[in-house]
Structures are given as structure tokens and as C-alpha cells.
Amino acid sequence: MRKRIVAGNWKMNLSLDEAMALANELKVKIDALRGSAVAEEDNPLPEVVLFPPYVYITRILDMFSGYKGVWVGSQNCHHEEQGAYTGEVASLMIRSAGASHVIIGHSERRSQFGEDDALLARKTKQALKNGLTPVFCCGEMLPEREAGTHFGVVTEQLKNGLFWMDESQLAKTVIAYEPVWAIGTGVTASPDQAQEMHAHIRKLVAGTYGEPSAENMTILYGGSCNAKNATDLFSQPDVDGGLIGGASLKADDFSRIIQSLWTT
Ligand code: 13P
């Protein structure tokens, strides 16, 4: 069965005290969800993945130690195994610190740090080699959407960044569709827009790897997803959860988004 995930990308936000307080609050909220009347054996809570800044990863991991269903990942990784790359962090380090996931190809990395598809392919290779689950982001910019080239843009990003993998590697990967015009803008893709792109992505996976791989692929939506619109987005058949930015910094909003996925 396809995994359903709610992930929180904290980006470059929060002091350590704030991050610990948020994690603590989240723990209480998740416990409350688990204990609530809707909890059922055959409907477990969706997986939750938190992406704090690197320096907080071990602290957040400690906080959730022994806690089922909550994972911690990094927002980026370097494309080399190790070496003279001052200020950079390798997949091997992230994994050995206990994290399980890594975001690769976020649009902020693509646009602000010039990360291109070839580099992102190298990052996903490193991540997989070291046992991390890549959460590979794709998505078009506003002019591309307006010009009607959005399907082609996403196709190229996936073909170049991801489809070098074999089937077993792809099975360990998550895709996140994040239209750039929806990130941090308060403008969300409509449920129809999200669904048609997710269906397109699933079809691409099917065309390259076959139906079973496509059927099992988790595809998250990201871009101004919040407690109000999550249910509508998650009701779409090809939307398997969310990669949440701003709303993941508020425990109440984030837990309501988890609840939306759980009850949809
Ligand atoms: P917002 O939810 O703040 O739009 O950010 C989405 C995002 O970039 C998640 O990676």
C-alpha cells in the first residue's frame, strides 16, 4: 500500500528553544490524535517527517526517540561522500546522526543556490547510497504555468533528476510536487490543479518503471497547504500527503493537517 506522509519543512526558522518547544507541542498533539475516537487499528496515523535545520536534528531525534511513526530528516545534503567542502553536510553524516529522510531539489535550493538537475541526481545517489529516503521536489514557476509548459517542466525535472534510478531505488524515494508560485505565497494550487499534476507524475513513473511502481509511489503536495485547504487537497486520489512549510511551524495547524490526511 502507498505510504501517506505529512512532512514539515521548517526551513531556516526557529531558535533551538523554539524548535524544542514546537517538537514538544507536536508530540502532545500527536498523542492526542492517537488517543482520539477516530483511532483505529486498520487506519494508523499517516507518517510524520520533520525537517529541522541541520543543527537541531539530533536534538529533535532525541525528543522522538522510541516514538513510532515520526521521522526526522534534513533539508539538504551534499553531492559528495566527504572531503574538503567547508560548511557542507554529507548524507553519510545525516544518516549516522540518526536521520532517515532528506529533501532534495527544493525550489529554494534550485533558484537561490543554482542547483540543477545533474547536481540533484548526484545528491539523490548519495542519499540512497547512505540509506536516506530522498524527498525529491519538482514544480514549475509561474511564467511556466502561464505559458502552459508546466507538465513539460516537471517531466524534465523528474527525467533528469530521478529517473536514473533502478526500480528498487525508486521504491525508496518520495516525490513532492511544489509549484513555485504556491510556495510561501498563500496561493494554493486548486485541488484539480494538484490532482492533474500528480496524475501526470504517476503516469510518468508508470511509463518508465511500470504500473506497480507508479501505484506504490508516494506523491506529496507542497505550496501554501494549511489546516483549511488540506482536506480538499488530500481528497484527490493521487495526492498522498503534504510537504508543509509555514503551517508546519505551528503545532496546532500541523496536527490539524495530519488529522486531515488521516480522516480523508
Ligand atoms: P509553504 O507551505 O510555506 O508554502 O512552503 C511549502 C514548502 O516549500 C515546503 O517545502
Q: What is the mean pLDDT of the chain?
A: 96
Q: 37 falls in which pLDDT band (50, 70, 90)?
A: low
Instruction: Assess whether 167 carries a catalytic annotation.
Output: no
The pLDDT of residue 40: 59
Task: Give percent of the chain above pLDDT 90.
Answer: 92
Q: pLDDT tens digits for 142-160?
A: 999 999 999 999 999 999 9
- Rounded-to-integer distance, Cα 16 and Cα 18, Å: 5
Mean pLDDT value across residues 169-173: 98
Cα–Cα distance list, 106 to 18, 75, 175, 179, 224 (Å): 24, 8, 11, 10, 14
Question: Does ligand 1 have an atom closer than 6 angstroms to the CB of 248?
Answer: no
pTM of this structure: 0.97
For ligand 1, atom 9, name the residue with the nearest CA.
245
Ligand 1 atom nearest 222 alpha carbon: 6
The answer, yes or no, to whether residue 167 has pLDDT greater than 90, is: yes
Q: pLDDT tens digits for 226-243?
A: 999 999 999 999 999 999
Torsion angle of alpha carbons 164, 118, 57, 62, nearest 10°? 10
Question: Does ligand 1 have an atom closer than 6 angstroms to the CB of 99?
Answer: no
The answer, yes or no, to whether residue 36 has pLDDT greater than 90, is: no
Mean pLDDT value across residues 66-90: 96
Residue 88 contacts residue 76 (beta carbons within 8 Å): no
The answer, yes or no, to whether residue 210 has pLDDT greater than 70, is: yes
Set 78, 79, 101, 106: catalytic member? 106
Instruction: Assess whether 178 carries a catalytic annotation.
Output: yes
The answer, yes or no, to whether residue 41 has pLDDT greater than 90, is: no
- Rounded-to-integer distance, Cα 139 and Cα 185, Å: 15
The pLDDT of residue 23: 98
E strands in 77-234 = 101-104, 133-138, 174-177, 219-221
The pLDDT of residue 182: 96
C-alpha cell at 248: 508546519
Full set of structural domains in the chain with CATH = 5-263 (3.20.20.70)
- Rounded-to-integer distance, Cα 186 and Cα 228, Å: 12
Ligand 1 atom nearest 246 alpha carbon: 3
- Rounded-to-integer distance, Cα 96 and Cα 206, Å: 33
Question: Does ligand 1 have an atom closer than 6 angstroms to the CB of 244?
Answer: yes
Residue in 242, 100, 230 with CA at minimum distance from that of residue 172? 100
Q: pLDDT tens digits for 19-28?
A: 999 999 999 9
